[in-house]
């Protein structure tokens, strides 16, 4: 029985009634906790969900009757609700964020009886509760956020995200739900998908700005200190060690780099993790300046151990790879003279897959042999460099993939200008003119395809494709009277969206409409634009629906043929809005191949318009009312990015 100052928290997942979604799309309701008077006749407090709103209610305090959240709870998803109550104030939190804060003029009476669960008034839908708690004090915002982000197994994935996305609170090695697993097989770990806000259970949705199958990526751009960040977002952080760790930073291929070995005897150490030694396929890649004997990376002989799986050594006149699938001290060896210049940056790569082991230098295959796997990880840390090497050498941009990259992919990495092999419309890549000095003047050109440059600073620029297809980029500069050119090419596509078939199965088809489908966000609420401001069909016109869509995060696109150049938009996809004044609106989405599709209300999604023709341009497609009369007008295009939220 709490005092007049208390906090109630609980996890709730509500469902939508099975009847007509047009009429009852917000009918889900359920109660987390209810306090009663001594005779159990009157509610003195209730924390509940009704029609999507979170309510705090108490019969004896009229001020509580109006405390709502503004429809922030969606069905079929877990949400953490919290009510923080004191004699003068009530705050409602949803998923760790304060949704409303209200001053009250009537202290809440002390509870005599408590009910956990129970349907809210008028509800016919079910709900599930978990982890309901009552505190005899007011929790602060940080404490509630901590409850929301609780991570039982400490793997970086909050329990709520695990439960919502992968079915249970903690990772299980048996069903690919560990942080380092790739649940949907799209080449991105569950941890990467969580940190970049993409769905781990849908292979068509994945991070756009991160290379596929990347296990670790040490860019070495820090430029100061001793900590080394893992840009793969998989958490494989390293530490510069040795005699002068903070003094190891130098100028690199792209930004900063490290100078290792030599008098300072510096190296980088990354704690052991099994994912750093992928069993079936592996690519190790990075840049080196070989003015001394050095090691790009490896887990061989780490911290005094005599066993390891891989180590790539280099020097002014030699490259040697040790590769041991068994990790038992025996190894395969590839040894050759690269005939390279020693005071310039060179790209090294080791690729293993399909029992083939190969070493590339500056994008060219230099040596290969057959190797029988798989790899059995030796529990050693990964070292970039190695302690005790007498000569200094420099290293930059070290990567480990759990896939054997192809020759074209290795060549793209070795070009050094940073242009990925594949990109999506709206993605940005920072390009550098490899081989040019700071004093050179560079000229960037799009040779073919639709793309543009921004933030150009001489030999560095940001590149962004604005339409699908192949794009060829060239940079040219003159040095010592010699003109140098570097050309590279990328294949550009629109982002892949969820398959049409996913929207045509029960219960998705009946609980999601054209707005859900066009934005590619399933809510099972028959979502409407700007739900909080939605006032029905009486104001139906282009301006009204456009403003509501913008309030949900959609961005209006003025020029479809040059959409990225004119608006500088991030990755996402395009939708079109049609309106039948005072009656209806309709939205379509652009597919990866540039065609369009749509989903009329609770009916099947299709690539055809009402005349049975493929939709190639929504501005000229044919859509009618129930009588077959053409009534819809085109209102505009919108960009749907990662920050769009509908309900």
**DSSP state string for 102-118:** EE-SSPPPPPSEEEE--
Which own/partner pairs from 181-187 qualify as long-range (CB within 8 Å, at least 24 positions apart)?
Answer: 186/212, 187/212, 187/213, 187/403
- Ramachandran angles phi, psi of 532, nearest 5°: -65, -35
Whole-angstrom CA distances from 416 to 129, 284, 346, 374 are 53, 16, 9, 31
The DSSP element (H or E) to which 186 belongs, if any, is: none
- Give the model confidence (pLDDT) of 22-52 as tens digits: 323 334 456 777 777 656 666 677 787 765 5
Asked if 6-148 and 214-415 have one fold, the answer is yes
With cut-offs at 50, 70 and 90, classify the pLDDT of residue 531: low
Parallel/antiparallel/unpaired status of strands 267-270 and 382-384: antiparallel
Query: CA nearest 591: which of 489, 498, 486, 465?
Result: 498
pLDDT at residue number 378: 92
Strand partners for 47: 33, 56
With cut-offs at 50, 70 and 90, classify the pLDDT of residue 435: low
Task: Supply the mean pLDDT for the chain.
Answer: 82
Domain boundaries, the chain: 6-148, 214-415, 422-493, 500-640
Q: Average of pLDDT values for 92-110?
A: 77
For the chain, percent helix, then strand, then coil, each to nearest 5?
15, 35, 50
- Higher pLDDT pick, 311 / 118: 311
pLDDT at residue number 566: 44
Parallel/antiparallel/unpaired status of strands 238-241 and 364-370: unpaired
With cut-offs at 50, 70 and 90, classify the pLDDT of residue 562: low
- Higher pLDDT pick, 210 / 635: 635
C-alpha span between 552 and 435 (Å, rounded): 46
CA atoms within 13 A on the CB side of 376: 8
Lowest mean pLDDT among 206-210, 475-479, 598-602: 206-210
- Give the model confidence (pLDDT) of 102-153 as tens digits: 887 766 666 667 778 876 544 445 678 888 898 989 999 999 988 888 888 8
pTM of the model: 0.64
- Give the model confidence (pLDDT) of 2-28 as tens digits: 567 889 898 887 765 433 333 233 344
Q: Average of pLDDT values for 373-382?
A: 92
The pLDDT > 70 percentage for the chain reads 83
C-alpha span between 80 and 331 (Å, rounded): 53
C-alpha span between 632 and 617 (Å, rounded): 14
Residue range 422-493 in CATH 2.60.40.10: yes
pLDDT at residue number 64: 59
pLDDT at residue number 353: 92
Query: Which span out of 116-120, 312-316, 481-485 was modeled with the highest average pLDDT?
Result: 312-316
Contacts of 156 (CB under 8 A, 6+ apart): 179, 191, 194, 195, 235
Whole-angstrom CA distances from 227 to 16, 449, 493 are 49, 41, 36
Top-tier CATH class for 214-415? mainly beta
C-alpha span between 391 and 131 (Å, rounded): 59
Q: Average of pLDDT values for 635-643?
A: 85
pLDDT at residue number 281: 94
C-alpha span between 576 and 594 (Å, rounded): 13
With cut-offs at 50, 70 and 90, classify the pLDDT of residue 309: very high
The DSSP element (H or E) to which 1 belongs, if any, is: none
Residue 262, pLDDT above cutoff 70: yes
pLDDT at residue number 382: 95
pLDDT at residue number 139: 93
**Cβ–Cβ under 8 Å, residues 65 and 43:** no
C-alpha span between 346 and 285 (Å, rounded): 11
With cut-offs at 50, 70 and 90, classify the pLDDT of residue 401: very high
Task: Decide which of 2.40.100.10, 2.60.120.200, 2.170.8.10, 3.40.190.10 is the CATH code for 6-148.
Answer: 2.60.120.200
Q: Average of pLDDT values for 94-107?
A: 79
Calculated CA dihedral for residues 532, 535, 539, 540, nearest 10 degrees:
70
């Amino acid at each position: 029985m709490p005092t007049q100052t208390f906090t109630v928290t609980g996890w709730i997942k509500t469902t939508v009634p099975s009847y007509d979604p047009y009429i009852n799309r917000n009918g889900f309701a359920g109660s987390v906790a209810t306090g009663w008077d001594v005779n159990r006749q009157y509610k003195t407090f209730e924390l509940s969900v009704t029609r999507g709103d979170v309510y705090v209610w108490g019969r004896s305090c009229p001020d509580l009757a109006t405390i709502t959240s503004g429809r922030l709870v969606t069905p079929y998803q877990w949400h953490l609700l919290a009510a923080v109550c004191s004699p003068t104030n009530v705050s409602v939190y949803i998923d760790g964020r304060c949704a409303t804060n209200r001053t009250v003029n009537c202290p809440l009476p002390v509870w005599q009886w408590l009910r956990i669960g129970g349907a809210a008034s008028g509800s016919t839908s079910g709900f599930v509760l978990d982890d309901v708690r009552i505190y005899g004090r007011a929790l602060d915002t940080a404490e509630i956020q901590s409850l929301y982000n609780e991570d039982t197994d400490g793997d970086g994935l909050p329990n709520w995200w695990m439960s919502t996305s992968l079915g249970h609170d903690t990772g299980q090695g048996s069903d690919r739900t560990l942080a380092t697993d790739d649940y949907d097989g799209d080449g991105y770990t569950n941890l990467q998908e969580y940190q970049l806000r993409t769905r781990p259970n849908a292979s068509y949705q994945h991070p756009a700005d991160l290379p596929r199958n990347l296990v670790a990526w040490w860019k070495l751009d820090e430029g100061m200190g001793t900590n080394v960040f893992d840009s793969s977002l998989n958490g494989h952080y390293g530490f510069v060690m040795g005699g002068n760790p903070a003094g190891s930073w130098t100028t690199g291929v792209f930004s900063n780099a490290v100078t290792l070995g030599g008098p300072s005897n510096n190296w980088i150490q990354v704690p052991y993790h099994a994912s750093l030694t992928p069993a079936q396929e592996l690519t190790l890649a990075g840049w080196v300046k070989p003015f001394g004997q050095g090691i790009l990376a490896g887990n061989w002989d780490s911290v005094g151990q005599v066993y390891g799986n891989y180590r790539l050594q280099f020097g002014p006149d030699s490259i040697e790879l040790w590769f041991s699938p068994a990790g038992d001290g025996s190894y395969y060896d590839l040894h050759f003279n690269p005939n390279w210049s020693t005071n310039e940056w060179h790209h090294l790569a080791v690729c293993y897959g399909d029992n083939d082991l190969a070493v590339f230098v500056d994008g060219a295959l230099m040596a290969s042999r057959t190797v029988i796997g798989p790899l059995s990880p030796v529990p050693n840390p990964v070292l970039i460099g190695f302690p005790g090497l007498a000569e200094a050498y420099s290293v930059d941009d070290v990567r480990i993939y759990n896939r054997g990259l192809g020759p074209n992919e290795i060549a793209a990495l070795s070009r050094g200008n940073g242009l990925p092999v594949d990109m999506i419309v709206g993605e940005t890549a920072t390009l550098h003119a490899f081989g040019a000095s700071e004093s050179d003047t560079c000229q960037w050109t799009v040779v073919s395809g639709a793309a543009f440059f921004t933030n150009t600073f001489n030999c560095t620029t940001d590149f962004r494709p604005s339409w699908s297809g192949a794009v060829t980029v060239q940079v040219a500069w003159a040095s010592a009277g010699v003109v140098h050119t570097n050309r590279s090419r990328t294949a550009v596509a629109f982002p892949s969206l969820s398959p049409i078939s996913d929207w045509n199965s029960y219960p998705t088809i009946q609980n999601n409409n054209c707005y859900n489908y066009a934005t590619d966000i399933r809510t099972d609420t028959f979502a409407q634009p700007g739900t909080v401001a939605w006032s029905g069909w009486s104001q139906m016109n282009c301006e009204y629906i456009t403003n509501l869509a913008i309030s949900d995060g959609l961005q209006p696109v003025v020029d479809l043929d040059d959409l990225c150049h004119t608006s500088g938009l991030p990755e996402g996809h395009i939708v079109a809005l049609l309106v039948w004044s005072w009656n209806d609106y309709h939205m379509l989405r652009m597919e990866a191949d540039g065609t369009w599709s749509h989903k009329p209300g609770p009916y099947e999604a299709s690539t055809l318009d009402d005349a049975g023709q493929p939709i190639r341009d929504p501005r000229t497609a044919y859509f009618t009312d129930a009588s077959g009369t053409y009534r819809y007008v085109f209102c505009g295009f919108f960009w749907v990015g990662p920050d769009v939220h509908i309900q």
